[in-house]
Structure 1
Amino acid sequence: MTATTSSASTPASGDLASAAIASCRTAFLTVGLFSAVLNLLMLTGSIYMLQVYDRVIPSHSIPTLIALSIAVAAAYAMQGLFDLLRQRILTRIGSALHAALWQPVVCNILRGPLRGGANRGLQLSHDLDSVRSFLSGLGPTTLFDLPWMPLYLAGCFLLHPYLGWTLVAGAALLFGIALLTEVLTRAPTRDASRAGAIRGVQLEAGRRNAEIVAALGMEQRLIDRIGAANDDLVAAQQRNADIAGSLGALSKTLRFMLQSALLGLGAYLVIEGQASGGVMIAASIMGSRALAPVELAISIWRPFLGARQAGQRLRAALRDGDAPNPDVAPERAVHRLTVEQVTIAAPGGTTAIVHNASFALEAGQAVGIIGPSAAGKSTLARALVGIWPIARGEIRLDGATLDQWPAEIRGGMIGYLPQDVELFDGTVAENIARFDPEIDEAAVIAAAKAAGAYEMILKLPKGFEMRIGEAGATLSGGQRQRIALARALYKDPFMVVLDEPNASLDAEGDAALTDAIRRVRARGGIAIIIAHRPAALAAVDLVLTLATGQVQAFGPKDEVLRKSLAAHPAPGGAALQAVPDARSVPAAAAS
């Protein structure tokens, strides 16, 4: 069985977007039923005018007029109620879809960098907002009203065939304009979406690297680079707006002309004695109502296309969900780590970075992984903690592969300090506690002490309650690294993987790191340290050397370092002298 990145609590594989829409099927059917009632009630105005002109005025009957007016008022009130209910249901459909897809979308965004391929950034969250906004607006109501056009066409044919055929000709013209709008705006809408995504990624990269931009004088160059994407976006949006605006104005003009044509044709039929005055007014009202959804469809075409393309991107991104969490997970690991013939490639890549790596660690052992740059050390660390998948081989804790535990339980067994330290906007305590909603204060303090960061944190403004800002911007590099080390040690994880843990530490920090590794070993944990600086190896008892992605040596520290020195001698044996041995580690920690 191959260890892969474990899933958080997300649904099983399948088309999540389609499943979410299917769960709202009853609500959509209700909206369709309400639309049917609404479109029948919208005949009220035409029927009222027909009755007034053909019955009330010739008979001069005030009671008939009053009765008709009361009935019409009741019908309009019911129409308003159904329209309100329909809109509220659609708004809640949008909210329900948003709630159903929000967690999978955020998971997809968070895991995107770990999967390779195109980086969508925040595009998926914008896509979800776009779909929700469309469903909560006038777009769906227009689509539900369009199928009822034949009802009004049939009504006009009943009044007089000439009126019916005139309305059919006008509706055909407007439908042609709607189809032309779809064809002509499809490409500009797609281009605008792509350019907007590129601009967003570039802006975020510039904001995230503001210090480098300012220090190296790159601001104007980045503005020019982002400006190119911005120009593409504006140009595409302008083309889209010009096309949709021109065709929308044309459709509105045609609708006004058609409504007047129905009125004029009705007048002609009255003069010729083929229709009554009521028929003339009713046909005009009915024709206007029949064509209104077409005009609205043209006006909402851009949002509709945007929502449709957003839905397609969501469907593509969420089509294959992560594997579901196991129903029964193994016990927490407490004994050993085994790595057997592991080959690792970058997510989405095909070129192996680490080849056939094998080693094993028992509780209480610590290994230092050394080697030249690009040897695959950080790649191996990422696979050990389960954030990069492995192409072949097995990584096991106490005999179980990493994917046999739910992500949250597996994360509790693992402490990880990446080479590039990342902290989150929140308090120091929240960062150390990994944003556990029920922070264990004693565990936070214990982790801070284990990382040698307790006194440092107390000196910060507000101590553990200090908000550190985005990415820990208010802290120095050494402070961020020690807080991140405390996060890795929170609640005594069994396996602690530290990638260049002393890159930003001073001598005091190096001593605290050495003590932290000794504590991990003394309590029966496993420590794996990726190191360039020899001081990081002070508390390890084993060393593994990597070169070109392959394990060159693995064994007791002194023996491996002696062979390494013999193969690559350093002046005066400085390398060995700089690496304290592990004999000062308590006996309980020795393997």
Structure 2
Amino acid sequence: MAAEVKLGTPLWRAVHRYRTAFITVAILSAVLNVLLLGGSIYMMLVYDSVLPSHSLPTLFSLLAMITIVYAFQALFDMMRSRILNDVGSALDQNMQPLVQRAISEAALRGGRFSGDGMTPMRDLDNIRAFLSGTGPTTLIDLPWIVFFLVVLSMLHIWLGVTALVGALIMIGMTWMTDRATKAPTQEIGQLTSYRSGMAESNLRHVEVLTALGMRERMRDRWSEVNKVYLASNDRLARSVAVLGGSSKVFRMFLQSAILTVGALLVIDGKASGGVIFASSILSGRSLAPIDTAIANWRGFASARAGWRRLNDLFARLSAAGDAVVQLPRPSKELLVEQVVIAPPGTQRVTVQHAQFRLGAGDALGIIGPSAAGKTSLARALIGVWPVLRGSVRLDGATRDQWDPERFGEAIGYLPQTVELLEGTVAENIARFEPDAPSEVIIAAAQAAGVHDLVVALPQGYETPVGSDGTQLSAGQRQRIGLARALYGNPFLVLLDEPNSNLDQAGEEALEHAIAGVRARGGIAIVIAHRPSALARVSHVLFMRDGRQEAFGPRDEVLAKIMSKPIPINAGVEAADNSRGEAPRKAAGGER
């Protein structure tokens, strides 16, 4: 049963696809190991046949044959190296999407990995490097030690016994290498991620660190982590160097010991002179896989640790596959039923028993004091946070009934902190959709009122935004983020503090965008602290301390909460000012 479980993991299934390639490598290795006898046989024949007879034709005939043998050795060795390199690259390509998906799911569930969060990617890199290197060939060659020991024993039993004792000692050294490198390898894997994450964080926040005089302190913190990282690497390198050096020295000593045994056999008349040199070569070849394994144990240990971590990751996180039945895009309603929400990875409830319904053409304003649970609710509505209890349904279906990509196409989202990705303005608006139609991109920009702003940029829609949109101002990022949220006319558009960085023109464009979503039969949800964002909504949801205290038509809810002396901070200001701006309603009327 355990074997079946292991073979059921994504990594095992991926490797199993290349079983034909591994069988081919094993066959090539078998032929190579047999051909490796050629050098020993050649030397033995030269000493035992050519030198006593002084026969040049025999010598040159043997030379021609061994040349052909070496040519085939080179060819087969190149072939198996090429096959393993292709297998490593193919495995990486096949597993990379699943690893990326698992990293994303872990982040969404609050299980983000320490440091830079890229440990699974490095684990896959280590596995690929191991498969593409000498690791698999070394493991495949290890059983052939028995073959060479048998050949040595056929020359003379004492040669085989001597080589066997040496092999057992070197196997013990391999076991010691594994024990010595296991803990440092795991520690280095964790420290690598943490060290990279800290360096990336210092770079990302360099402006704040400079302004507050914190650069030296943060650099010192990184240096302390780096010292621990270097110390772990040093311990690992010392362990590998000591045991690897010892194995090499012992193998040379063993060859000398076998030469000594061979010489004693020749003196005793039990072996020929050629046997001495042939046995020396054979013993070296028989123990070479162990020596290579010790020398490359660090890569093997890293790949093994990465394999285990990835299998654990895939076991914890179910990779969402394509839905069998493709549901149509939602177009009717959003239903929230007794929803309870907690941040992923915690049990701290931030929203309790929220319940409401919105139909096509509705717009909801969510207001309330800070830490009321507004953003938590928003993240659950668009499916990036899980729901502990209750459900969120679009046209009667929960999020898990949709293919993730198809569901995302029906959602428009503008977070508090607008995050643009490295690329052009057009690519960001189009959500990096390949070959996105220009008219659809422009339509989204016009719906967000940002078309004129974009064409005024140096390269228009092809203007690079830079890393995290740093080439643009905060207001430009927010308006381009709004255009991205509106791209493709999504049914549910959620805007979290969409006017925090907008000027008067931006505020007017935002109102127009909300009205446009309603006019085409979509649903708009706006989390607001400033009054202008509520001018075009039909409903208001008031939250406090994670609870829904009021929901209904905008004017009724605002009148209700303003009739009570409730210190709701920015929520009061939003409500009060919105009442004064009630005449600024959508042209199509309010629901």
Q: TM-score, normalising length from structure 2?
A: 0.94
Please tell me whether the aligned partners of residues 28 and 80 of structure 2 are also in contact (alpha carbons under 8 angstroms): yes
Candidates 498, 503, 516, aligned match of 1:506: 503
Separation of aligned partners in 1, 2:573 and 2:90: 67
Out of 520-529 and 56-65, give the one that drifted further: 56-65
Please tell me whether the aligned partners of residues 534 and 578 of structure 2 are also in contact (alpha carbons under 8 angstroms): no
Structure 2 residue ranges without an equivalent (≥5): 1-6
Candidates 76, 81, 86, aligned match of 2:80: 86
Please tell me whether the aligned partners of residues 98 and 319 of structure 2 are also in contact (alpha carbons under 8 angstroms): no
What is the SS of the residue equivalent to 1:328? coil
Separation of aligned partners in 2, 1:299 and 1:76: 25
* Structure 2 residue 456 is matched with structure 1 residue 495: no
* Structure 2 residue 290 is matched with structure 1 residue 299: no
Separation of aligned partners in 1, 2:238 and 2:386: 48
Separation of aligned partners in 1, 2:113 and 2:275: 61
Separation of aligned partners in 2, 1:222 and 1:384: 37
Q: Residue 536 of structure 2 aligns with which residue? A: 539
RMSD (Å), alpha carbons:
1.9
Structure 1 residue ranges without an equivalent (≥5): 1-12
Post-superposition Cα deviations, 1:18-57, rounded to whole Å, max 9, x if no partner, equal 2111112221121111111111110111111122222233
Q: Residue 104 of structure 1 aligns with which residue? A: 98
Aligned-residue offset at 1:186: 1.1
Please tell me whether the aligned partners of residues 537 and 590 of structure 2 are also in contact (alpha carbons under 8 angstroms): no
What is the SS of the residue equivalent to 1:347? coil
Separation of aligned partners in 2, 1:437 and 1:80: 45
Q: Name the structure, 1 or 2, with higher relative contact order (CA <8 Å, separation 6+).
A: 1
- Return closer, same or farther for 1:346/1:565 CA change in 2, 3 Å cut-off: same
* Structure 2 residue 434 is matched with structure 1 residue 437: yes
What is the SS of the residue equivalent to 1:289? helix
Aligned-residue offset at 1:543: 0.4
Separation of aligned partners in 2, 1:122 and 1:323: 20
Q: Residue 7 of structure 1 aligns with which residue? A: none
Aligned-residue offset at 1:576: 2.0
Separation of aligned partners in 2, 1:447 and 1:160: 84
Candidates 370, 373, 377, aligned match of 1:376: 373
Candidates 390, 403, 409, aligned match of 1:393: 390
Please tell me whether the aligned partners of residues 528 and 574 of structure 2 are also in contact (alpha carbons under 8 angstroms): no
Aligned-residue offset at 1:581: 5.0
Please tell me whether the aligned partners of residues 43 and 274 of structure 2 are also in contact (alpha carbons under 8 angstroms): yes
Q: Residue 4 of structure 2 aligns with which residue? A: none
Separation of aligned partners in 1, 2:143 and 2:480: 62
- Return closer, same or farther for 1:551/1:321 CA change in 2, 3 Å cut-off: same
Please tell me whether the aligned partners of residues 361 and 521 of structure 2 are also in contact (alpha carbons under 8 angstroms): yes
Please tell me whether the aligned partners of residues 546 and 552 of structure 1 are also in contact (alpha carbons under 8 angstroms): yes
Counterpart of 1:268, as a letter, is: L
Q: Residue 11 of structure 2 aligns with which residue? A: 17
* Structure 2 residue 45 is matched with structure 1 residue 51: yes
Post-superposition Cα deviations, 1:246-273, rounded to whole Å, max 9, x if no partner, equal 1111111111111122122212221221
Aligned-residue offset at 1:291: 1.5
Candidates 463, 467, 470, aligned match of 1:470: 467
Separation of aligned partners in 1, 2:522 and 2:359: 8
Please tell me whether the aligned partners of residues 496 and 526 of structure 1 are also in contact (alpha carbons under 8 angstroms): yes
Post-superposition Cα deviations, 1:164-192, rounded to whole Å, max 9, x if no partner, equal 12111221221111111111111111111
Candidates 35, 38, 53, aligned match of 1:41: 35
Please tell me whether the aligned partners of residues 539 and 582 of structure 1 are also in contact (alpha carbons under 8 angstroms): no
Aligned-residue offset at 1:59: 3.2
| Matched residues, number | 579
- Return closer, same or farther for 1:573/1:84 CA change in 2, 3 Å cut-off: closer
* Structure 2 residue 208 is matched with structure 1 residue 188: no
Q: Residue 320 of structure 2 aligns with which residue? A: 323
Post-superposition Cα deviations, 1:381-410, rounded to whole Å, max 9, x if no partner, equal 111111111111121111122222212221
Aligned-residue offset at 1:229: 1.6
Q: Residue 9 of structure 1 aligns with which residue? A: none
Please tell me whether the aligned partners of residues 514 and 524 of structure 2 are also in contact (alpha carbons under 8 angstroms): yes
- Return closer, same or farther for 1:348/1:130 CA change in 2, 3 Å cut-off: same
What is the SS of the residue equivalent to 2:252? helix
**Percent identical residues:** 49
Post-superposition Cα deviations, 1:488-535, rounded to whole Å, max 9, x if no partner, equal 011211111000101111222111111111111111111100111111
Q: TM-score, normalising length from structure 1?
A: 0.94
Q: Residue 280 of structure 1 aligns with which residue? A: 276
Candidates 340, 343, 346, aligned match of 1:346: 343
Separation of aligned partners in 2, 1:587 and 1:503: 24
